[in-house]
Amino acid sequence: MAMIRFHDALRQAAQALAQLELPAVPSVRVVRDVYGRLRFAVDSALDDYPVQARDQLQAAQMALGAYATSNELLFRDSFSYPEKFFDQQNWLRTMVPMGCNEDGQQLPSVEVLMLDRMVTGHDWLQPVHTEGEHPHRLVFFGLKGGVGRSTALCMVAWGLARQGKRVLLVDFDLESPGLSGLILPPERVAQFGVMDWLVEDAVGQGDSVLTGLVSASPLGESTRGAVRVVAAMGAQESDYLAKLARAYSDVPSEHGPQRLGERLRRMVQALEAREQPNVVLIDSRAGLHDLAAAAITGLADTALLFATDSEQTWQGYRQLFSHWQRRPDVVRDARERLALVRALTPKSDREAGVKRFQRKAYELFAETMYDAIPQGNAEADIEYFHPIETDEAAPHFPILVDWDERFQEFDPGLRPEQGGANDAQVDATFGALIQWVTRRIDGDEQRPEEDEV
Amino acid sequence: MTAADPSSVNYFESARRHYRDADTLLGGSRQGNAGQLFGIAAECGIKAILVASKVPVDTEGSIGSLPGVKGKGFKDHLPNLGKALTDLMGSIPDSRTATTYLSALSSLSHFSDWRIEHRYWRDAALPVASVARWQSAAGEVMAVLDQAKEDGVM
């Protein structure tokens, strides 16, 4: 028998569930443990489930080889508090791709209800709508560094402050803290940073550092608004790595362990309550990291996904979108908050390059994030989310930031006479992004409050 | 748990059996032995976590003496077993698993007045007022076993 690999196991388990003759109710669920091993779970007492079905399930589980957690099927009897296991929020409807048949034809995906126990990355699959009113939150994310994400964030902050807005910047890039260096002179850096809040919150005194977290950036001083900054690292930090080594731990609470995403959301809410900003800009860590998940799915009203036209970029986003795609509930929630930013747009052959980028972006979204519309027999009463390629309001339609040498190793704090950029230069490069963000925020403010359920 | 398992000891199963029986006794107002069984259920549950954390067992599946450790070690009863967990954490082979589950047991101190010798005591001497506290602490152990079952470590 061929050795079963990680990605075969779930497909084989889903296939078994689709093919075995099992009672329709209760449906069989799948539990995937932290090693990727699987067990079947049935919300029924062991004795109430037909012996023949049980035997088939057990055989199918054992056929998973090294990817069977054990030979035990999970029934209500397996737990002292079965309702806590079977009724928890973490069960997700999951689409399992079945690959192709012998003729190379794509087989339809099979849906299973799955509890996926992961070591990290929980927040990618737990989109959150924070309750109550809050200022629009924009997350700046890139799959890799060096695409001008933080510079763009500073320029957007400045552009919004020029309109009279009070802008709060928060640096989530804890493993490569740099936003404060870009936007604050050393003497302005606040006493504490996000890192201090995380370690103090873990021992129950996060509130005590809130007052020392925010500083005013000179960037806002020539504007009608203000640019307020929460850095990753406080002034005179001497123990950063010792804190980083602990920052992501779950913290016990009355309602069970609080994960990183939930904790950061509490911090941002507390900062919003203190600072009363009109808009919050979050600099996310680059790459598929928990910090990015916490920001994009846990906080963002809008997530700006920075991309260049490189294979690494497209592959990375495809992996992320495919991860969402398998959970229909998550994909519906995630896609409308996304917006793609074409960073470092080359000036040579610009028009053709932009078209090429737009096409690739459309194909990626169409294959992963947009609804597949059945050919010929689309049901009239179902609303499909599938914008066309040229729809400028669609998540895939790129917002352009041009390549400009001036903004490499750029100090946004410098005045034009010191080698900094003047208004016209900033607008030439970042104007489209600033305008897009402005429309998004203003649209959000004008939109009537959605009906509360 | 498994038919092919030759050892007769299974701390996970026995923990849950004692806990259920304790509940049954309590429902029949038999506080004295209910209390005794809540303590034993908690002990078995702790030992199930220790076995899942690769603490060595003998051929029967019982936790044996730890090499180089004087005294009863993990073979001790509550409330001393609680202290042994703290003192001997460093000698648990898979300390990460042990820490994950044992650190969730915040109410083991409820067993400070529980004694294995209660089974020899006369009725009037038993601290039956403590049974509710022992029940909640044992319930916490059962919830941790559920979590370990969900995670696939037992």
Q: pLDDT confidence of A396, banded at 50, 70, 90?
A: very high
Question: How close is the nearest chain B Cα to the Cα of A70, in Å?
Answer: 8
Which segments within A231-300 are labelled E, that is strand?
279-283
| For residues A295-316, average pLDDT | 93
Predicted local distance difference test score (pLDDT) of residue B4: 56
**Cβ–Cβ contact A37 with B under 8 A:** yes
**Cβ–Cβ contact A115 with B under 8 A:** yes
Residue in A39, A71, A81 closest to B2 by CB = A71
Residues 14-33 in A contacting B (C-alpha not used; CB under 8 Å): 31, 33
Q: Which residue of B has its CA nearest to A86?
A: B150
Q: Which residue of A has its CA nearest to B138?
A: A80
Give the tens place of pLDDT for each residue, A122-156.
Answer: 788 877 876 568 999 999 999 888 898 999 999 99
Query: Does the beta-carbon distance from A37 to B1 stay under 8 Å?
Result: no
Q: pLDDT confidence of A381, banded at 50, 70, 90?
A: confident
| For residues A335-352, average pLDDT | 92
| For residues B46-74, average pLDDT | 89
Give me the total of CB pairs closer than 8 Å, taking one residue from chain A and one from chain B. Answer: 37
Do A191 and A229 form a contact (C-beta atoms < 8 A)?
A: no
Question: How close is the nearest chain A Cα to the Cα of B152, in Å?
Answer: 6
Mean of pLDDT over chain A: 90
| For residues A242-247, average pLDDT | 92
Query: Does the beta-carbon distance from B149 to A39 stay under 8 Å?
Result: no
* pLDDT above 50 for B2: no
Predicted local distance difference test score (pLDDT) of residue A447: 54
Q: Which residue of B has its CA nearest to A90?
A: B150
Residue in B1, B145, B151 closest to A117 by CB = B151
Query: Does the beta-carbon distance from B146 to A84 stay under 8 Å?
Result: yes
Chain A residues touching residue B139 (CB < 8 angstroms): 80
Give the tens place of pLDDT for each residue, B106-130.
Answer: 899 999 999 999 999 999 999 999 9
Q: Which residue of A has its CA nearest to B148?
A: A79
| For residues A315-335, average pLDDT | 90
Nearest CA among A263, A208, A214 for reference residue A235: A214
Give the tens place of pLDDT for each residue, A109-131.
Answer: 999 999 998 877 778 887 787 65
Predicted local distance difference test score (pLDDT) of residue A451: 42
Predicted local distance difference test score (pLDDT) of residue A374: 78
Q: Is B149 in a helix, a strand, or coil? A: helix
Chain B residues touching residue A90 (CB < 8 angstroms): none
Predicted local distance difference test score (pLDDT) of residue A391: 95
Give buried/exposed letters for A62-76 (b at 16+ CB in 10 A, else e): eebeebbbbebbbbb
- The proportion of chain A whose per-residue pLDDT surpasses 90, expressed as a percent, equals 63
In sequence order, the 6+-apart residues with CB closer than 8 A to the CB of B8 are B60, B61
| For residues A282-307, average pLDDT | 91
Query: Does the beta-carbon distance from A85 to B16 stay under 8 Å?
Result: no
Predicted local distance difference test score (pLDDT) of residue B5: 64
Question: Rounded CA gap, B73 and B97, in Å?
Answer: 19
- The proportion of chain A whose per-residue pLDDT surpasses 70, expressed as a percent, equals 95
DSSP annotation of A387: -
Tokens, residue B76: 């001790």
Q: Which residue of B has its CA nearest to A70?
A: B152
Q: pLDDT confidence of B1, banded at 50, 70, 90?
A: very low
Question: Rounded CA gap, B78 and B107, in Å?
Answer: 12
Place of tokens 């329709």: A24
Give the tens place of pLDDT for each residue, A200-219.
Answer: 999 899 999 999 999 999 98
Global confidence as pTM: 0.80
| For residues A4-33, average pLDDT | 95
Predicted local distance difference test score (pLDDT) of residue A383: 84
| For residues A388-397, average pLDDT | 95
Question: Rounded CA gap, B97 and B108, in Å?
Answer: 18
Question: How close is the nearest chain A Cα to the Cα of B144, in Å?
Answer: 10
Residue in A31, A69, A80 closest to B146 by CB = A80
Q: pLDDT confidence of A452, banded at 50, 70, 90?
A: very low
